[in-house]
Amino acid sequence: MFSYTIINKQLINNDNFHVIPIGYRCPTAIACTYAKIRKFSLPFDWGVPWNPKKIQTILENDFLNFCNFESINNSNIMYNKIYDFASGHFTNEINVLNETFHRRIDRFNNIMNESTKK
């Protein structure tokens, strides 16, 4: 188990920074978990497909309509046609999913307002 990582050639204590996984599908969040630098789930975990333009649009819109999901073929893959992305590994119960994502969005906003490194 390690509690430090090298970022920008600096040794940073795991308690003094937050990693925000943004990547294609699951590997980004999983890699952060294996590296023991992922502390909790955030809104961009498990997304298909995430790209910088989509993230930028979501952030510029302050997550407006981000929780507007529909189930794909009644599965655990949820789709948001407003931002054209899908998210997997979730319940297809919309109310539970919305609560989950509202918590993740609140967590993300709190992190962005903290003075810790990101």
Question: Residue 3 has what pLDDT?
Answer: 43
| 41 burial type by CB count under 10 A (0-12 exposed, 13-18 middle, 19+ buried) | middle
pLDDT tens-digit map of 43-83 = 888 777 677 888 899 999 999 999 888 877 777 778 888 99
User: Which range, 12-21, 91-100, 103-112, is most confident?
Assistant: 103-112
| Cis amide bond preceding 43, omega within 30 | no
Question: Residue 2 has what pLDDT?
Answer: 40
Average pLDDT over residues 6-32: 68
Question: How many beta carbons lie within 10 A of that of residue 6, not counting itself?
Answer: 8
Q: Is 87 helix (H, G, I), strand (E, B) or coil?
A: strand
Distance CA 56, CA 25 (A): 17
Question: Residue 116 has what pLDDT?
Answer: 76
pLDDT at 108 over 80: yes
Distance CA 83, CA 70 (A): 12
Comparing 72 with 111, the larger pLDDT belongs to 111
Question: Residue 15 has what pLDDT?
Answer: 66
DSSP secondary structure of 53-82: HHHHHHHHTTTTTTT--EESTTSS-EEETT
Distance CA 17, CA 118 (A): 6
- Which residues, including other chains, have CB under 8 Å from residue 23's CB and lie 6 or more apart? 29, 47, 50
**Mean pLDDT of the chain, nearest integer:** 79
